[in-house]
Amino acid sequence: MPKPALNTDPAAATQPLADLGLAPKTVAIIEARLSTYANLKTDLDMLQRQVEAERDEIGRMLEESGVMNARSANGTSLYWVRGARNRKLDLTKLIAQGVTTAQIEAATVDKPKKDAFTIRLKGDNQAQTDAS
């Protein structure tokens, strides 16, 4: 069966599954899996917050002790990573320096991304995407 045409607009996902002509059994299975997904996502979010809190506390303790790098008894590496500068070309400044828009366009490389299936839970501000 060929893949349907992609509609990447999240606002287009307004039609209920039951109204799309899917078999009732298929709709029930998808709805059940979505319920499982929502529960797992909630658990994952909670665990992620706990992991981040533990990491932050360990980092705070090391920083207070003046330790920047270490290895634990079980072999876990503990180290700080410096924040990197985010550099970006300013197209307006390039044009002001005499670079033409044609030159900018000629030097621009488009890197296509894979199609991705996204699930956005109701009330969730961060979608889970599978770019497989």
What would the pLDDT profile of 15-37 be if each residue is shown by its tens digit? 788 888 889 999 999 999 999 99
Q: Which of 61-65, 112-116, 117-121, 126-130 has the lowest mean pLDDT?
A: 126-130
Task: Using alpha carbons only, give the angle 32, 36, 41 rounded to the nearest 5 degrees.
Answer: 145
Residue range 35-51, pLDDT digits in tens: 999 999 999 999 999 99
What's the rounded mean pLDDT across residues 9-19? Answer: 75
Q: Which residues contact 120 (CB under 8 A, 6 or more apart)?
A: 10, 127, 128
Q: For residue 27, what are its two tokens?
A: 């709709």
In angstroms, the Cα distances linking 37 to 30, 40, 44, 69 are 10, 5, 10, 38
**Higher-confidence position of 6 and 82:** 82
Instruction: Name 129's bridge partners.
Output: 118
Residue range 58-116, pLDDT digits in tens: 888 888 888 878 888 878 888 777 777 778 889 899 999 999 989 988 988 888 877 76
Are β-strands 77-79 and 117-119 bridged in parallel, bridged antiparallel, or unpaired? unpaired
78 phi, psi to nearest 5 deg: -120, 120
The full set of domain ranges for the chain reads 17-81
pLDDT at 132 over 60: no
Q: Residue 118's Cα: distance from chain center in Å?
A: 10
What's the rounded mean pLDDT across residues 8-17? Answer: 73
Kindly indicate the confidence band of residue 53, based on its pLDDT and cuts at 50, 70 and 90.
very high
20 phi, psi to nearest 5 deg: -100, 5
pLDDT at 130 over 60: no
pLDDT for 116: 64
